């Protein structure tokens, strides 16, 4: 998977100088980081809506769009995929790979006999969300 994201990132870098009339990536890069961030947010919302709807195939398609738009934004901000992987490794050392760092400081539990103790996982409530077309 990491190789795929690296390939995508390199392709985005290569496409940014193409003709914006022929390249979606070049057009998006020309429009700036505000437009890129908006597209990223739109794709994230579409993933969430399709997930709530239980449409796994749509989640796959929209996730691919989300990852593409994320790579475009990274390229615009000169963030390399390895920068993100380094941050993931740092977080894994703190809380475990399957945990997100909290917004506010919390005490990190010390590792016990079973490994790193994490925070409880809380599920989002089930709300109905409609996708706009």
- pLDDT digits 0-9 by tens, 12-69: 999 999 999 999 999 999 999 999 999 999 999 999 999 999 999 999 999 999 999 9
pLDDT digits (tens, 9 = 90+) for 58-85: 999 999 999 999 999 999 999 999 999 9
The CA angle 14-37-15, to the nearest 5 degrees, is 10
DSSP state of 22: T
Nearest to residue 84, comparing CAs of 96, 74, 69, 98?
A: 74
How far is the CA of 9 from the CAs of 3, 41, 55, 62, 79, in angstroms?
10, 19, 27, 18, 10
- Based on DSSP, count helices (H) and strands (E) in the chain, helices before strands: 5, 0
* CATH architecture for residues 2-79: Orthogonal Bundle (1.10)
CB 101 within 8 A of CB 95: yes
Q: Which residues of 46-72 are buried (b: 16+ CB within 10 A; e: fewer)?
A: bbbbbbbeeeeebbeebbebbbbbbbb
Query: Which bin fits 103, alpha (ψ -120 to 50), beta or left (φ > 0)?
Result: alpha
Domain boundaries, the chain: 2-79
The pLDDT of residue 101 is 64
């Amino acid at each position: 998977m990491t190789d795929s994201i690296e390939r995508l990132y390199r392709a985005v870098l290569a496409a940014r100088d193409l003709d914006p009339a022929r390249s979606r990536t070049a057009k998006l890069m020309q429009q700036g980081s505000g437009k890129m961030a908006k597209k990223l947010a739109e794709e994230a919302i579409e993933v969430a809506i399709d997930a709530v709807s239980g449409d796994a195939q749509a989640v796959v398609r929209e996730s691919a769009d989300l990852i593409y738009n994320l790579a475009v934004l990274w390229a615009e901000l000169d963030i390399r995929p390895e920068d993100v992987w380094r941050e993931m490794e740092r977080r894994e050392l703190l809380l475990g790979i399957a945990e997100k760092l909290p917004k506010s400081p919390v005490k990190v539990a010390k590792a016990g006999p079973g490994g790193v103790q994490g925070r409880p996982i809380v599920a989002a409530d089930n709300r109905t969300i409609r996708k706009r077309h």
